[in-house]
A = this chain, B = another copy of it.
Amino acid sequence: MSLRKGVRVLTPNGAIAPTGTWSVGARAGDFLFIAGMRGINPANNSLVDGDEARIRQAFLNMKMIAGSEGADLPDCVRLTVFVTDMQRLRTVVNKIQEELWSGGPYPPRTIVEVAALNQDDFFEVEGTFYSPKSR
């Protein structure tokens, strides 16, 4: 965890390893900003197979990083979801979120179909969380 002028870059144990010029998350004030997460298994840094399993892994990667700063999925205030096939994947995303959020309530979400993701992946989720330091 690096200290900068108020911004704290997050480097929790067990998170996936950044493969480029990015960190997995940052805290500023009471908010946590998590990098776009894909379904990479942090144990071996390789993509998980299968639509459901890969999407679940991406959400779990996000949850793990938020958890390192005291936030859980209900503390999420914004999800932006990028898929490469809306038709096939939106229902899968809904199913996995039902499971992980235990039926809700759910955070505000935006879901769009993009042309491509890194490593020709099909799912990426960007999450913002609220985790007041004084609570």
Contact = CB atoms under 8 A, between A and B. Distances in A.
Interface of A: 2, 4-7, 9, 18, 20-26, 28-31, 33-36, 74-80, 82, 84, 86, 90, 93-94, 97-98, 101, 104-118, 124, 126, 128, 130-132, 135
B115 A115 contact: yes
Q: How many copies does the complex hold?
A: 3
A122 to B, nearest CB: 12
A23 B101 CA distance: 12
B20 A107 contact: no
Contacts of A113: 114-117
A6 B130 CA distance: 7
Contacts of A23: 104-108
